[in-house]
Amino acid sequence: QTVAANLVVGRPLQMLPRSVAPSRAIVIGGGVAGVSIARELARKGVGVTLLEKAGQLCAGATWHAAGLVTRFGGSPKIKKVHVRALREMTALHEAHDIGLHITGSIRLIEKGNPDRLTEAKQHVAMAALYDDPGLPTTLITPEEVAALHPLVDTSGVDAGVFTPRDGDVDPTLLTTCVAGLAKADGAEFVHNAEVETIERRSDGTFEVRTGAGAVFEADAVVNAAGLWSRRFSRQLGLEQTHPAFVIEHQYAITETIPALKGKVGDGERVPVLRDLAGSSYIRQERDGLLVGPYEGLLSPGEQTKVRTEWAEGPPSHFAFDLFPPSLDRLQGCL
Q: What is the pLDDT of residue 193?
A: 97
Q: What is the pLDDT of residue 299?
A: 57
At how many degrees (to 10) do helices 76-96 and 171-184 cross? Answer: 80
DSSP codes, 26-78: EEE--SHHHHHHHHHHHHTT-EEEEE-SSSSS--SHHHH---EE-S--SSHHH
Question: When comparing pLDDT for 199 and 294, which is higher?
Answer: 199
Question: When comparing pLDDT for 329 and 30, which is higher?
Answer: 30
Q: What is the mean pLDDT of the chain?
A: 89
- 8-17, 55-64, 85-94: range with lowest mean pLDDT: 8-17
Please check the confidence at residue 329 and state whether its pLDDT lies above 90.
Answer: no
Q: Which of these, 231, 202, 230, 206, lies nearest to 216 by C-alpha position?
A: 206
Residue-wise pLDDT tens digits, 164-196? 999 999 999 999 999 999 999 999 999 999 999
Residue 76: pLDDT band with limits 50, 70, 90: very high
Q: What is the pLDDT of residue 318?
A: 85
Q: Which span out of 25-34, 74-83, 233-242 was modeled with the highest average pLDDT?
A: 25-34
Q: What is the pLDDT of residue 174?
A: 98
Q: What is the pLDDT of residue 312?
A: 85
Give the integer Cα–Cα distance in Å for 74 and 77: 9
pLDDT > 70 fraction of the chain, expressed in percent and rounded:
91
Q: What is the pLDDT of residue 183?
A: 98
Length of the chain: 334
Residue-wise pLDDT tens digits, 265-291? 888 999 999 999 888 999 999 999 999
Q: Average the pLDDT over 215-224 and give the result.
A: 96
Instruction: Give pTM, 2 decimals.
Output: 0.90
DSSP H helical ranges for 97-227: 114-130, 142-148, 171-184
Beta-sheet strand order (sheet of 215-218)? 195-200, 206-210, 215-218
Query: What are the phi and psi torsion angles at 330 (to 5°)?
Result: -95, -5
